[in-house]
Chains A and B, each alone.
Chain A
Amino acid sequence: MKATRLFPLLRLSLPALLIAALLLLAAFPEQVCPYDPYAQNLALSLQGPGGEHLLGTDRYGRDLLSRIIMGSQASIYAALLLVSITSLGGTLIGLWAGLSGGWMDTLLMRFADTCLAFPGLVLALAVAAVTGGGMVNAVLALAAISWPKYARLARSQALSLKGREFVLAARLSGTGPLMLALRHILPNAAGPIIITAMLDIGTMMMELAGLSFLGLGAKPPVAEWGSMMSVGRSMLQTSPWTVLAPGAAIFLTVALFNLFGDGVRDYFDVKSRKR
């Protein structure tokens, strides 16, 4: 391996290792929490950081550090789920539109335009009202408006690959449209889509936290970073740690995923690596 490739690899693997650790933590948060994140103890209400409770306690005397560790589960896995749904669904629709062309293409892309133009807030509330609230709605609502980005990308990839020799050869040898799309087009179109998805995780995490902050995602008492900040907001003046601690958790996690996304892009994209 050349030395020029070593630095990008290092920049990729360090965040990757940290993310792996974070995912493990978020998978088994109960094992790590120093206290029960849902146990109320009003005698310990709103204790400052330091001492027995490292990050302090909230209004009901619950340990903030434990709640943040517990909250990593909802915050991180919801974002990963959301990005998986939008990138997979959007890619399939985009490939379909690009490969079939004609009226089907027009129909699908107009549908994508309509979804892009739809205000996410209205959708999030309606979905929340139908399904009764929770993190799942926030994921569904954001998925419904963010897939067109992937559809457009996949469509343009499909259009440029459609006329290439290897695709023509496959078609001439009798490959059906579904096999053609999945075996020949998709593997060649996947690169930019995966890079976009990796860079998207951080943004989606912030969007999800924002919906919870507005009360349209996770609801108290569920431990989730955005909703913890929303609850703490009224106590910003007197107990700022109830806002700052979950805020810092979101910031650090998003930064880590962004670092990883940049690393993935720089490692695979030769053009941007020169910079």
Chain B
Amino acid sequence: MWVRNGGLLSAATAALITAVIALGAWFFIAHRSDWRMWSAGASPVLAGAVTMGVMLIAGILLAFALSRAEAAILLGRQHGGDEGSGD
């Protein structure tokens, strides 16, 4: 039931988005020196805008991931309730 009513899809979406943010973190750690060299050479406004943009995109993605995780939990509870009532 949980799988059919979209619980699994919500949980998978949340996990996928979190993985994308974690991948972004890994990218900036692995290419730290390249990123610092680029931001030192680029115009300060561009470096600031890219920094702010990356964090805001990550924030929006995480907000969406959390809402999906919440939906998955709610659907899981509904599913538990249905099972408990014998539906």
Q: Do the two chains bind? A: no
